[in-house]
Amino acid sequence: MSERASVQADEADADEDEEEQAPVTTGAQSVVRALENAGAEYVFGVQGGAIMPVYDALYDSEIDHVTMAHEQGASHAADAFGIVSGEPGVCFATSGPGATNLVTGLADANMDSDPVIALTGQVPTDFVGNDAFQETDTVGITQPVTKHSYFADDADTVGTEVGEAWALANEGRQGPTLVDLPKDITKGETEIEPAPPKKPDTYDVPEEADDEDVQEAADALAAAQRPVVLAGGGVIKADAADALRDFAFEYEIPVITTMPGIGSFPEDHELSLEWAGMHGTGYANMAITNTDCMLAIGTRFDDRLTGGIDSFAPDADIVHVDIDPAEISKNVHADYPLIGDARATLRQLYDAMPSAPDADEWREQCQEWKAEYPMDYETPDDEPLKPQYVVERFSDLTPDDTIVCTGVGQHQMWASQFWEFTEPRTWVSSHGLGTMGYGAPAAIGAKLAAPDQEVVCFDGDGSFLMTVQELSVAVRENLDITYVVLNNEAVGMVRQWQDAFHEGRRMASEYPWIPEFDKLAEAFGARGFRLEEYDDVEETIQAAREYDGPSVVDAIIDPAENVYPMVPSGGDNGLFALNERHLEQL
């Protein structure tokens, strides 16, 4: 926690018993009161004309505001705060361009089911529809990328609406919500205290799955010869990682995670096959392809996971656990649909299993695949630095609960492949939307959500450059974050695809003009390091970790290094390529 934040938190504790809260007098105060009632600690935002009354009300609040350099950064920081804390992250923006700049972060949160609540200023209601200065149809723009967007039209009810938006973001399948706040509503007088956060009446949240359905699914799993668990991000969101471990350990079923599910199961455990999909491990993809019964929990079967649907787990009965009924049989048909909370349903399944599946041979087969297709790379001393080595060494040097954030690109894949994850809520990345620039602001949100945990952000040179201005925020808040830019002077994933699928025509993918990030870091007031040699890796990582504040390691890596294994888009998971020669064969 930053110094400023910790001082304020202490004051908040001291004040809590002594003073009663002053009654609200304006819509804006009601908005802030609703956030206080919900337990908000931080708001990430950018000030502006139409949101100014809300900021004015925030002036008197114990909620700590973190001024971001750009609204996109505010929405990503709120998103990461939501992932790490499990509670909605809050972001503020003004009307028009402020609100539109939030949209990328809301779309990102929507794809990954991250709890976020966005509050946007709006022009006064009399001006709405007149193309007034900094007006835009924020509700219309954000509707497709939120669980729901509210337009507040009454100072008496605006606080209750904010509470409802909070509850909606948090309950059932988590996700982003937005409340658009016209300036006359937030300035308007009211004496009505907002009601406590309560989900909308029309929003139903299932709890436990149907017992009979659970029994049928358990019987199918127990009868399987080649069972696997596929754990998605929903396992982490539902705080079901412990229930998953209990289940898998007891019934000795190998566990594969999706990429958002990383951390739900310890990757150093024998039953772990790590994660499957386009750049997942060979052994996870072999197991996915050959399983005869899959218990899939809290996953939406994204195409980056499944590859081509025709070849996805083609012999498997699918037991699909999800809290959102619309995810059942959306992409992959569920033979045993279980609608319910992941944690509750896993406990039900645990109790319902008649016996452990007879799967000794299958487990041995999975171990053989681990030996046949290890995650590997070459580290000759005389070649440029390999990015995998940097990630692996960093992972070795840090505690298990270290939080890893990333941008989007090759570096994201290397981080997810070569970092050893064992704890939930330690992997913070942009999966569904694939938002380059996610990492720099996400690390800020993650650090504030877990101030006692170490935070490292792996970014790429292209991705980091998209939101590098947020370094100024990390410096101002004195956040102890280590940024590692795996710098190959390119948008490397695009270049890899151009080489593989566009005959090496590297149109607009090489970035030889990017700045020296260590010097850029120093210009922001952060500590900068440049890393080029194998012999310097450990020393540089340790120096960056030990620096009390944000540091940036500009790691100059082998520009020829590519991400493998790889399942080409829409391909067959079992036919992953381990190198370029394999790709040509597919």
CB nearer other proteins, residue 340 or residue 528: 340
Closest separation between CB of residue 177 and other proteins, Å?
9
Q: Which residues bind other proteins (CB under 8 A)?
A: 139-140, 143-144, 147-148, 151, 168, 200, 202-203, 282, 286, 289-290, 301, 309-312, 314-316, 324-326, 328-333, 335, 365, 369, 372-374, 376, 564-565, 574-579, 582, 585-586
Whether 62 is catalytic is no
Rounded to 5 degrees, what angle do the CA atoms 220, 222, 227 make?
85
Closest separation between CB of residue 88 and other proteins, Å?
16
CB nearer other proteins, residue 356 or residue 586: 586
Q: Which of 493, 496, 498, 524 is catalytic?
A: 493
Amino acid letter, residue 36: E
Closest separation between CB of residue 216 and other proteins, Å?
17
How much of the chain is in helix, strand and coil states, percent to nearest 5? 45, 15, 40
Which residues in 430-461 are b (16+ Cβ under 10 Å) and which e? bbbbbbbbbbbbbbbbbbbbbeebbbbbbbbb
Closest separation between CB of residue 466 and other proteins, Å?
26
Which residues in 86-104 are b (16+ Cβ under 10 Å) and which e? bbbbbbbbbbbebbbbbbb
Whether 151 is catalytic is no
Which tokens sit at 400?
A: 């298990």
Q: Which of 1, 41, 44, 71 is catalytic?
A: 71
Q: Which of 183, 199, 370, 386 is catalytic?
A: 183
Q: Tell me the C-alpha distance between 540 and 365, whole Å.
A: 40
CB nearer other proteins, residue 293 or residue 444: 293
Q: Tell me the C-alpha distance between 244 and 267, whole Å.
A: 13
CB nearer other proteins, residue 184 or residue 292: 292
**Parallel/antiparallel/unpaired status of strands 176-182 and 527-531:** unpaired
SS3 assignment for 245-289 = HHHHHHHCCCEEECCCCCCCCCCCCCCEEEECCCCCCHHHHHHHH
CB nearer other proteins, residue 62 or residue 137: 137
Whether 133 is catalytic is yes
Residue 47 near residue 55 (C-beta atoms within 8 A): yes
Residue 459 near residue 525 (C-beta atoms within 8 A): no
Closest separation between CB of residue 416 and other proteins, Å?
17
Q: Which of 8, 47, 134, 215 is catalytic?
A: 134
Residue 219 near residue 251 (C-beta atoms within 8 A): no
Amino acid letter, residue 315: D
Closest separation between CB of residue 577 and other proteins, Å?
7
CB nearer other proteins, residue 99 or residue 455: 99
Positions marked catalytic:
71, 133-134, 183, 493
